[in-house]
């Protein structure tokens, strides 16, 4: 089955991102296709490469990046939500005159249309949030 996934909460504070990750991993293992993972609200914070959790803890951001590399996942961060929360790629950073970008490997920034498109194209859209 072709699945779309939405992550509405940031890492660590809420379980949503962990559950979404485990869901995606399990779905892939069962041979399902992940059309896209869309990060919205505080979920955009799952895509910052500046996350450095203690070494004996799971690294939620790195885990998403690795899964994306392994399975060619499309991890999309909402641009409007990202701008509010200080998540940017190189071009966004340049456009806003900031001195750095912080998007993690495997993530890309795009618009809310990508969320609607995932709803249209996927057979099921699964939302993880509070």
Partner 1 sequence: MAEANESGSVKKFLYVNRKAPYGTIYALESLEVVLIGAAFEQDVSLAFLGDGVYQLVKGEDTKALEVKNFSPTYRALEDYDVTKIYVDDEALRVRGLSEADLVIPVEVVSAERMAEIMEEQDVVLSF
Residues tagged active-site: 78
Does 109 contact partner 1 by CB under 8 A? no
CB 47 within 8 A of CB 4: no
Run of H or E including 60: helix 60-71
Which of 37/67 has CB closer to partner 1? 37
Report the half-sphere exposure of 115 (CA within 13 A, side-chain side).
17
The three-point CA angle 74-76-82 to 5° equals 160
Does 27 contact partner 1 by CB under 8 A? no
- Per residue, the 3-state secondary structure of 24-53, as one string, reads HHHHHHCCCEEEEEEECHHHHHHHECCCCC
Does 119 contact partner 1 by CB under 8 A? yes
Of the residues 14, 93, 101, 112, which one makes contact with partner 1 according to CB under 8 A: 112
What DSSP state is assigned to residue 103? Answer: B
**Least distance to partner 1 from the beta carbon of 67, Å?**
23
**Least distance to partner 1 from the beta carbon of 105, Å?**
26
Window 50-89: residues binding partner 1 (CB under 8 A): 80-81, 84
Does 31 contact partner 1 by CB under 8 A? no
Does 41 contact partner 1 by CB under 8 A? yes
Does 92 contact partner 1 by CB under 8 A? no
CB 126 within 8 A of CB 7: no
Summarize as ranges the residues that interact with partner 1 (CB under 8 A).
6, 8, 40-41, 80-81, 84, 111-113, 115-117, 119-121, 125, 127, 129
């Amino acid at each position: 089955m072709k699945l779309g996934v939405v992550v509405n909460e940031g890492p660590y504070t809420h379980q949503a991102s962990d559950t979404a990750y485990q869901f995606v991993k399990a779905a892939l293992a069962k041979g399902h296709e992940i059309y896209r993972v869309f990060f919205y609200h505080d979920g955009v914070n799952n895509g910052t490469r500046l996350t450095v959790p203690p070494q004996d803890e799971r690294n939620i951001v790195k885990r998403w990046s690795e899964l994306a590399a392994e399975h060619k996942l499309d991890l999309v961060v909402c641009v409007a939500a990202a701008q509010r929360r200080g998540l940017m790629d190189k071009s966004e950073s340049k456009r806003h005159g900031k001195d750095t970008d912080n998007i993690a490997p495997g993530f890309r920034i795009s618009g809310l249309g990508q969320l609607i498109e995932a709803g249209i194209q996927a057979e099921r859209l699964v939302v993880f949030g509070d």
